[in-house]
Amino acid sequence: MNIFSVLPQKDGDPIIETGNQLRNSKKKLKRLKEKNNNPEEIKKLTISINEYINKDKFIKSIKKKELTVNFDEDEFLNNEVRKMTIIKNKLLREKENNKKIWIKNKNKPPKWKYKHNMSYPISFRITIVTIFCTHNREESLLSMVPKDILIYILENNISWFSFPSVPNEEIILRNYT
């Protein structure tokens, strides 16, 4: 025998959709206020009456805001060009820094240094940041190693070619910075 065949349904809040329902709700609210009973039902009725009365004002204000939004394509394109020139300049500076590092090491692949992390390619930097983020998580085994020792291990074992380069570093740089 199924004892859950019919579950009682809770009556929802009164919804006013027509002017006739509004008039009846106002009458019911007036009667409830005269009797001074069930303040919860009085509150529900006043809210539903206010919603019905103010629904047109809200819709009109939204329509006005939608009409006033203007999109200036020229300004948008100019901003995008500015962003791309900034990205290109950063990439050029990175390449110059990389050349300096290679010259210092007599064309040998330089080892990674904690202080010079920003002079390495973006794919390399993302990998190093990921390693340090993993180190900060308590669940990982890498978190058991002290930070100084981790830096020492990375500086002595990671060179320029340890991680593959990414073909579209401009896209990564735009999302990463």
pLDDT in tens, 38-83: 788 888 888 888 888 887 776 655 555 555 556 778 888 888 899 8
C-alpha 173/C-alpha 177 separation (Å) is 6
Least confident span in 15-24, 46-55, 87-96, 134-143: 87-96
- 3-state secondary structure string across 30-56: HHHHHHCCCHHHHHHHHHHHHHHHHHH
Q: What confidence score (pLDDT) does residue 60 get?
A: 57
Res 25 pLDDT > 70: yes
Q: Are 77 and 95 contained in the same domain?
A: yes
| Domain enclosing residue 142, as ranges | 73-176
Q: What confidence score (pLDDT) does residue 177 get?
A: 47
What domain count does the chain have?
2
Does the residue 6 lie in any domain? no
- From 53, 68, 83, the end of a domain falls on 68
**Average pLDDT for residues 142-157, to the nearest whole number?**
89
Q: Are 27 and 96 contained in the same domain?
A: no
Tokens (6 digits) for 137: 């998580």
The predicted model scores a pTM of 0.36
Q: Are 119 and 85 contained in the same domain?
A: yes
- Looking from the CA of 43 toward its CB, the CA atoms found within 13 Å total 3
Q: Are 91 and 45 contained in the same domain?
A: no
* 3-class state of residue 172 by DSSP: helix
* 3-class state of residue 78 by DSSP: helix
Q: What confidence score (pLDDT) does residue 99 get?
A: 74
Does the residue 14 lie in any domain? no
